[in-house]
Amino acid sequence: MALFRASECGVVCAITVFGYIVNGILCQSNITELISEIFPSCVLGANQINYIIYNRNNLLNGVTVDLESNRLPVESDLPVVFLVHGFTSEANNSRYQNLSQAWLKKYDVNMIAVDWKEGACSGGISLTQYLSYPKSIENAYEVGANIAQFIAKLIRDYGIALKNMLMVGHSLGAHVVGFAGKELQSNKIGTIPQIIALDPAGPGFLTSPCSNRVCKTDADFLQVFHTSDLGIIRPLGNDDFYYNGGIYQPGCSLTNLSCSHGKSVDYLTYSFEDSGCNLIGRKWAWFFGVPPKPECSNSTCSVPGIFAYKYPARGVFYVDTTNLSSSCETNFR
């Protein structure tokens, strides 16, 4: 916190706020600054929603626009992908940037990262962030509606068909894209072809009806990656992929749930990399917990990623990332 001279304010004090010792000259201007440092802006709503547009010629430094921007740097003949971050995060988080870059290196698309960090409680200190989580859930509805309006603008002003769009959301962002899908339908714009929900946030949604969370009616095809206890553990989509059982991920400690939670983004990124291995999902009775047998057929296996909808098998699948020699699409017979 900045200090001010006695001539600017007149009261010298030392106070403790949430463990922070503030020494020096206190006046209204630095009280406001202190409050903004402690309390996340999400308590005031989703006041700033930006769209960062990337393409193959601009992998690293996207162009930031908003709903009111007159010109959008999109190519009308290319598909559109929306990528939405989760709680306490932001669009320029390295995980999301890695996903965006891997996607663009593989496929030529308009990649649009939705930055709603103000509404997702990315500021403030940890205690107040988590106390403000219910407010970020409220904001998620507003962000979803804003995305639906942005999509309507792309359709109306740029001639991009809804059938050429896809939405990806991580954690609370998974529910945001679900709300966007609902809004598109309620406004009679249409139904988006596919949503990929990456470990959809569980807190606040565990008992929610379909109308208040991401749901398979929000898109023609809903694909869900399950990777941690922070996500909703039960199946939600047309295809539900449980990575290594969907609770803990290799390389993450049992107590670091956020590590396993973030792996859902990494696994989608991996699907775009030229590793020589597209991971297989095997049909699984998830409530029994026993990994499935290794045999694969069109009726028992699928491949997670943007083309999962092309495989005929539907339902719940177990994805093993610990034994790539038997878990690659090359072994899919």
126 is catalytic: no
> Could you give the residue ranges of the DSSP H alpha helices within the chain?
28-38, 94-106, 126-131, 133-158, 172-186, 257-270
Q: In the block, which residue shows the tokens 């699907």?
A: 271
The residue count of the chain comes to 333
Q: Of the listed 41, 175, 199, 327, which one is catalytic?
A: 199
Angle CA 217–209–191, to nearest 5: 20
Cβ–Cβ under 8 Å, residues 303 and 332: yes
CA dist 170 and 157 (Å) reads 28
- Name the amino acid, one letter, at 104: L
The reply to whether 199 belongs to the active site is: yes
Tell me the CA distances in angstroms from 52 to 21, 49, 179, 202, 291, one per residue in order: 37, 10, 20, 27, 40
Selected catalytic residue, list 89, 171, 228, 302:
171
Catalytic residue among 85, 175, 226, 261: 261
Residue 166 three-state SS: strand
- Catalytic site residue 171? yes
User: What would you report as the CA-atom Rg of the chain, rounded to the nearest whole angstrom?
Assistant: 22
Closest CA to 113 of 88, 150, 138: 150
So which residues are the catalytic ones?
A: 171, 199, 261
